[in-house]
Amino acid sequence: MVDLDFNIAIIDGVAIKFTASEAVIMHSLAARAPRVVEHWLLMDHVYGLEIDQPQQKIIDVFIFKIRRKLKETDFRIRTVWGKGYYLIRASSEDKQLSSSIKEKRDETSHN
């Protein structure tokens, strides 16, 4: 699913470009889907375990960016608070909820 040499994933027939760190995270999530990948394991895959505590939040930033890139696909990253993340194929209900949240956000920003 994820080509780590070129930092690209082909998802639902669409090529999505990732940064090197995003590609490593996406590869880790895809390889273990739908199981939870612990936060510390993602840190180890991207940086090794030698990283300062404040920098550990960077995984959350990468997840945010990956989620934005996956918006137009059928895949979603879910959070398990205090544990990690997992990748799933979104159900039609998830997509419907996402689009109705977006519509409400659009309505609010136009008023």
Question: Is this model's pTM higher than 0.75 or not?
Answer: yes
Beta strands 14-17 and 8-11 are antiparallel
Number of domains in the chain: 1
Q: Is the pLDDT at 111 greater than 80, yes or no?
A: no
Nearest to 42 by CA among 56, 33, 52: 56
Determine the average pLDDT of the residues in 19-36.
94
42-65 pLDDT, tens digit each: 988 888 766 665 566 889 999 999
Range of the domain at 10: 2-110
User: What's the per-residue H, E or C state across 46-95?
Assistant: HHCCCCCHHHHHHHHHHHHHHHHHHCCCCEEEEEECCCEEEEEECCHHHH
Which CATH number do you get for residue 41? Answer: 1.10.10.10
61-102 pLDDT, tens digit each: 999 999 999 998 999 999 999 899 999 998 755 555 555 555
Q: How confident is the model at residue 23 (pLDDT cuts 50, 70, 90)?
A: very high
